[in-house]
């Protein structure tokens, strides 16, 4: 874990109430996809956990949705502003567990951490299918980015205004998609439905309210088949077989 003061390079809207923030600074504590950072917000006691969307040796990119006062403050940041964050938090996706063909499923802003994962899978020469679920067409984001790195991308929207009408699981039901391992991130109802519909092994990144983000407060504990686990420290990525819905 390392606290870093970053400089904002970009903070622009991707979709309604959803922003992409690119930061310059020390990213040495960030190892691979699936991790998150805890961002400090002026005037707020608790930091905001945000998953790592992309990262290189000099920049960190976050995709976040404005859901309250803290993220509203972040959305007002401009290039040149400073942002403090704890980095190197959480575990990561296990890229080596995928034999050949990966299925990535993201719901809403849950699509964000799957992008760095997709780049890692691509670097290993593995095939990818990505299914992204949203409420409506105006919320669709990141599809072009996934396509640019070679993924076969499918969209689902609840109102049918883009792609397949319904959930990401409806895309699975209607299309013959080959895969031997899956990775998913999104709202809990989506993740539960995915784990019920898919019978191959896989991994799920959980979204949970966090206090410290480092495992000290136990505020994000969940019950698993292996006993209680802290989402911030033992996760946020868990094997499908561990989870109790």
Both 121 and 195 in a single domain?
A: yes
Residue 207 confidence (pLDDT): 85
Q: Is residue 187 part of a domain?
A: yes
Both 192 and 154 in a single domain?
A: yes
Q: Which two tokens stand for residue 31?
A: 């190892």
**Phi/psi of residue 168, each to 5°?**
-60, -30
pLDDT at 225 over 90: yes
**Full domain range(s) for residue 71:** 2-89
Both 115 and 194 in a single domain?
A: yes
* Contact in structure between 103 and 76 (CB atoms under 8 Å): no
How far is the C-alpha of 75 from the C-alpha of 86, rounded, in Å?
19
Residue 208 confidence (pLDDT): 81
Q: Is residue 195 part of a domain?
A: yes
* Contact in structure between 51 and 185 (CB atoms under 8 Å): yes
How far is the C-alpha of 12 from the C-alpha of 137, rounded, in Å?
19
Chain segment 110-163, per-residue pLDDT in tens: 999 999 999 999 999 999 999 999 999 999 999 999 999 999 999 999 999 999
pLDDT at 61 over 90: yes
Chain segment 1-51, per-residue pLDDT in tens: 899 999 999 999 999 999 999 999 999 999 999 999 999 999 988 999 999
Name the residue with tokens 């699975």: 172
Domain boundary residue, one of 73, 89, 105? 89
How far is the C-alpha of 51 from the C-alpha of 108, rounded, in Å?
13
Name the residue with tokens 């945000």: 50
Task: Say if pTM beats, i.e. exceeds, 0.75.
Answer: yes
**Phi/psi of residue 147, each to 5°?**
-65, -35
- pLDDT band, very low/low/confident/very high, at 215 (cuts 50, 70, 90): confident
Name the residue with tokens 């959980």: 206
* Contact in structure between 181 and 201 (CB atoms under 8 Å): yes
Domain harbouring 146, CATH code: 3.40.50.80
CA distances, 218 to each of 30, 97, 195 (Å): 22, 29, 25
**CB neighbour class for 86 (10 Å; exposed up to 12, middle 13-18, buried from 19):** buried
Q: Is residue 71 part of a domain?
A: yes
Chain segment 167-200, per-residue pLDDT in tens: 999 999 999 999 999 999 999 999 999 999 999 9
Domains contained in the chain, number: 2
């Amino acid at each position: 874990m390392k606290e870093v003061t970053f400089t904002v390079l970009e903070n622009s809207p991707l979709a309604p109430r959803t922003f992409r923030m690119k930061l310059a600074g020390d990213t040495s504590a960030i190892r691979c996809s699936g991790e998150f950072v805890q961002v400090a917000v002026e005037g707020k006691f608790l930091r905001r956990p945000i998953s790592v969307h992309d990262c290189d040796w000099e920049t960190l990119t976050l995709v976040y949705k404005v859901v309250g006062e803290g993220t509203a403050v972040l959305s007002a940041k401009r290039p040149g502003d400073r942002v403090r964050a704890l980095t190197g938090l959480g575990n990561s996706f296990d890229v080596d567990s995928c034999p050949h063909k990966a299925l990535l499923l993201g719901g809403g802003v849950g699509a964000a951490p799957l992008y760095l994962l997709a780049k890692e899978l691509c670097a290993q020469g593995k095939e990818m299918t990505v299914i992204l679920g949203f409420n409506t067409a105006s919320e669709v984001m990141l599809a072009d980015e996934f396509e640019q790195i070679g993924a076969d991308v499918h969209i689902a929207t609840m109102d049918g205004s883009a792609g397949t009408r319904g959930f990401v699981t409806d895309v699975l039901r209607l299309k013959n998609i080959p895969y031997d391992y899956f990775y998913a991130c999104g709202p809990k109802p989506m993740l539960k439905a995915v784990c019920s519909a898919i019978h191959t092994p896989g991994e799920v990144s959980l979204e949970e309210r966090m206090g410290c983000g480092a495992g000290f407060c136990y505020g994000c504990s969940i019950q698993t088949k292996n006993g209680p686990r802290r989402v911030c420290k033992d996760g946020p990525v868990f094997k499908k077989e561990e989870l109790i819905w």
